[in-house]
Structure 1
């Protein structure tokens, strides 16, 4: 059964805990070609580091056999990170994905998701909203 608007509202289990480390933040910053932000306060992860912690939640969506999604047919159309506070080394976070909306237009499915990233005391650190466009293969 392919994904339908009826799947909106589905929430998956939280991902396994992920520890943000100084090393991972430094690797990510280096991959972006940006300096590691250090000042009078703690090291802060670049804003797009949120993709590192939300990626496993998106994997759960793409591997749900009930939805019939094929990653090779997905285009990441939109992304927004809404931070409640910066991610910092020492944070241990989990990510919980919910399907916010599904629109079907012919063989195209437009899937809007929201991923709530929480720290070890269950406080929301960031919310990542994303829209994916999935093209379904035409029936034979």
Structure 2
């Protein structure tokens, strides 16, 4: 049995996923959020710093600034759409991304894809890339290949 607090916390979050996502979904049952661009995900995985009891993002200054700018743009787009600042991230990045983001933008909520129930409707309002967030209805979404701005089931 693992005594790693982060690992155990993430396991509990996955089990509580339906309750977490229900609390974040709008009254129409849809979770409106920003997603991470696949290139951004890959870059962030390269910046992960893992120790026995912790996991953090340790990007260089340029990457950190680009990431924060991309998240800030996504938060602004979500706000303009009347939505809460929620980012859906891969499970392996969720905690490190939340920890990094929380220092600068504590209002941002980061949930993992594994926390969402299989039938959860997700509408991607924007995509976070390094440097900026994209709002392009013709672009493809990292979740289930659905176009951005349209609902999809996860």
TM-score with structure 2 setting the length:
0.23
Could you say which structure has the higher helix fraction? 2
| Structure of higher CA gyration radius | 1
TM-score with structure 1 setting the length:
0.24
Could you say which structure has the higher strand fraction? 1
